[in-house]
Amino acid sequence: MKATDRASLDQWYPIDTETLIPFGRSTNRLLGYELKVVRLPDGEITVTAEGIDGPLPIRRRFGFLWTTVGQPAGEIFPLPEADETDRRHVNCGAVTVKASGLRIVENFLDMAHFPFVHTDILGAEPNTEVMHYNAEIRRDVDEVWATNCQFFQPQAALSAKDGIMTDYIYRVMTPFTTLLYKTCPNSANRWDVICLFVQPLDPDRCRAHPVMYLLDDESTTTELVHFQQLIFLQDRIILENQRPVLLPMEPRKEIPTRADASSIAYRRWLKEKGVTYGTSMMAA
């Protein structure tokens, strides 16, 4: 099923790591549209979509090729940390998930599952309480932010030696892109940055593209990728078994708790924007 709501159509989406796009013709998918990707011998890339005249616009950012089947009002969101030369840029590979892309973003925002899904890594019993934090829609930038987030983590990062109380800031830039800033074990006054860029293939199926910008001179790239993939694959088991598969938008379909403040703000923001792709509102 193709997307019809402008809020989903008029966004930039990553479709692959630029270096992995093969020469010649290949296929991809976005919001129900079949894409044809052509890479010429000189490296030039064009992307077209069924039912849409002419080539789609493309952008190169964060190591990915981005495109759109709509008409975005602006460029891809800013991320100054991506341009800091002393950071490790770690692309963690694409993971296909049989779930709504919006479900994946919401799961990314959720701290309550840390002790039960990522046991002895991002959380552990008896430290299961999600302490009060602030969640808001920032109207000046049209983003959702959650601040003053804290959670005790046995291994907050691959470079962490002991359990620490970890500070988080969550940021949702578009309906299908999000990131977090978290305590960096190697720097007292800077943050590690972990991004999750979601490529919705269909309402109930997507590809997740995790990428990290870290201050870590000790770990190998392979070790960092394996650590992040371990965490995401633990999430995938939960995501693919959530019911309903699409994100419920009707009041009282799912009962939120105090720990769900970021989810409440995210869903309110989606509804205000008119996002329906990947939600229960598609059938309305």
Beta strands 143-153; 88-91: pairing state: unpaired
Residue 125: which CATH number? 3.90.380.10
Distance from C-alpha of 51 to C-alpha of 49, rounded to nearest angstrom = 6
240 with 106, same domain: the answer is yes
The pLDDT of residue 261: 86
146 with 240, same domain: the answer is yes
Q: Are 118 and 155 in contact (CB under 8 A)?
A: no
Is 185 a member of any domain? yes
Is 1 a member of any domain? no
145 with 180, same domain: the answer is yes
56 with 180, same domain: the answer is no
50 with 95, same domain: the answer is no
> Among 58-62, 195-199, 229-233, which is the least confidently predicted range?
229-233
Residue 11: which CATH number? 2.20.25.680
42 with 144, same domain: the answer is no
23 with 106, same domain: the answer is no
133 with 262, same domain: the answer is yes
Task: Please indicate, yes or no, whether the overall pTM of this predicted structure exceeds 0.85.
Answer: yes
144 with 230, same domain: the answer is yes
Omega within 30 of 0 (cis) for the link into 248 = no
26 with 110, same domain: the answer is no
The pLDDT of residue 259: 47
Domain region containing 200: 80-283
Residue 257, pLDDT > 80, answer no
Q: Are 156 and 164 in contact (CB under 8 A)?
A: yes
121-168 pLDDT tens trace: 665 565 556 678 899 999 999 999 999 988 776 655 555 556 667 888
Please, which residues have CB within 8 angstroms of residue 85's CB and are 6 or more apart in sequence?
none
Residue 247, pLDDT > 50, answer yes
186-219 pLDDT tens trace: 777 899 999 999 999 999 999 999 999 999 888 8
Closest CA to 270 of 248, 242, 239: 248
Output 266 or 234, whichever has higher pLDDT: 266
Last residue of a domain, one of 67, 101, 116: 67
49 with 131, same domain: the answer is no
